[in-house]
Amino acid sequence: MRRINLYITSIILLTVIRTNANPIISSINDNGKTKFKVEVKNSIGEPQTKIFLKITGRSEVYKVDSCGIINFEYEIPKNYKRTANIYLNEDTKNPEKTFTLDEENTVLNFCIDTKEDILRFKQENSTFNIEGIVTTEDGEPITGATVSIQGTGRYATTDEIGLFSIDADFNHYIIIRADGMENISMTVSPFLMNQKDAYPIVMRKKSGEKIYSSVETMPEYPGGMKYFKRYIDRNLKYPEEAKRNKIEGVIVMQFVVEKNGDITSPKVVRRLEASLDSVAMNLIKGMPRWTPASDHGVKVRCKYSVPIAFKIPVPKPVVIENNPIKEIAGDSLITLNDSTILRPDTLIQDSIINDSIIKNKLLSDSTIIANDSIGSDSIISTKLPDKEETTIGNTTKVKKRNAFVRFFRWLFGIKDKEEKKDEEIKENKEIKKLPQQNSTEIENKDKIGIEQKEEL
């Protein structure tokens, strides 16, 4: 009887031990390795298949299946801990997620988005409901903190335990503000990494000695950047050696605008050449006080960067006023602009001028020619019989013709309108005289006939 009771008791004890040891036995094989299961999805719950896993210090690569699951086995050392890294196929150097291998936590879930996923979410303007809890460095919840989605108008406030919930997206930053605390700007990705729990956010108190790089109201040069550029243009003195060597470029200067607007801690962020760097440094040191930065109405120290361009000035072209030059050649008025090029007249060297016929004709017109040249306008003429009259209104203007013009008009038989009218008038008078003569002859004949009849 005792043997039977002992046997039953031993069976019960073995059953209890096996029940409690099942998780450990299932995760540890006979070879001492632990089985791990890692499931990875993107922000909208799709399996992430563009990843792989590596253990720090090991060369083995564990690939993901079509369901976004990585199964692997590894013997965990007892003296130290091993970490595993999940990489995207597009970036094999920087891990997207790192975790410690632990025998008690063999099933893990992660959310990882590729660049293609993020681009798609931005194009589709996909929104995700996120949760966070805001606390101080001491762990105390911050009530009434403002959580806003920049540029959308969406915002939420934290409750009594510092919890908030809001719809966010990949196109806009999440800004968290609280009185007396430093502002926090972040993307939606950290919230999506672990969607099961609220993402913890720790805010720090503002310090008067802290130098900000981004605040609500950035510092400004007195009058704005337009006057800053004017200040640079007026005070920039280009080194002669750099000008001779034709050194040009842009220098980036960085400095701190204090609460009272003073400029401190100037330094060259992007260098160009030693002499030009020195000129840029002197320009920044000689600036007047700026309008200081402010954050929620509180003046703060702020870091600021400005580019200073060095370009060799090009001399401006000399502008000559377009004053027309007037010259009188003979009886004509010639207007010459700056672009007019004078060329010698071909008539100057014409051999016709030496023709005896021309000379005789000119002499018959009682014209004296001295050093005849059209180009030099040296024609000196006496009283010219040939004149041209033009009537303008009630006044009559008489123009004297040039000797050459008169000669060619005589040579080709060209006559003025007045001469033609005079000839026509003479012809008409002659025609009118003819019928009168005929009538007188007829009358005479009639008288002679009548006298002869009377005699008979």
- The answer to whether the beta carbons of residues 166 and 145 sit under 8 Å apart is no
- The answer to whether the beta carbons of residues 387 and 401 sit under 8 Å apart is yes
Nearest to 302 by CA among 206, 225, 224: 206
Measured distance CA(238)–CA(276) in Å, rounded: 8
Nearest to 295 by CA among 179, 445, 385: 179
Read off the DSSP letter of residue 266: E
- The answer to whether the beta carbons of residues 101 and 84 sit under 8 Å apart is yes
**Phi and psi of 400, rounded to 5°?**
-85, 135
N- to C-terminal Cα separation, the chain: 218
CA distances from 99 to 95, 110, 269, 365 (A): 11, 10, 37, 122
**Chunked in runs of 10, what are the mean pLDDT values of the chain (456 residues)?**
58 57 46 86 89 90 92 85 90 88 89 89 90 92 93 92 93 91 87 83 81 89 93 91 90 93 93 92 93 86 93 72 46 41 42 42 39 39 42 48 74 65 63 49 52 51
Q: Which pLDDT belongs to residue 369?
A: 35
Q: Which pLDDT belongs to residue 214?
A: 85
Nearby residues of 305 by Cβ (< 8 Å), 6 or more positions away = 252, 253, 254, 269
Render pLDDT for 16-41 as a digit per residue (tens, 0 to 9).
Answer: 555 554 444 444 445 578 899 999 99
Would the CA dihedral through 7, 13, 19, 21 be positive or negative? Answer: negative
Nearest to 46 by CA among 64, 72, 71: 64
Measured distance CA(208)–CA(259) in Å, rounded: 9
Read off the DSSP letter of residue 140: -
Would the CA dihedral through 232, 238, 243, 248 be positive or negative? Answer: negative
- The answer to whether the beta carbons of residues 145 and 126 sit under 8 Å apart is no
Render pLDDT for 165-210 as a digit per residue (tens, 0 to 9).
Answer: 999 999 999 999 998 888 888 988 888 877 778 999 999 887 667 8
- Which amino acid is residue 312, in one-letter code? I
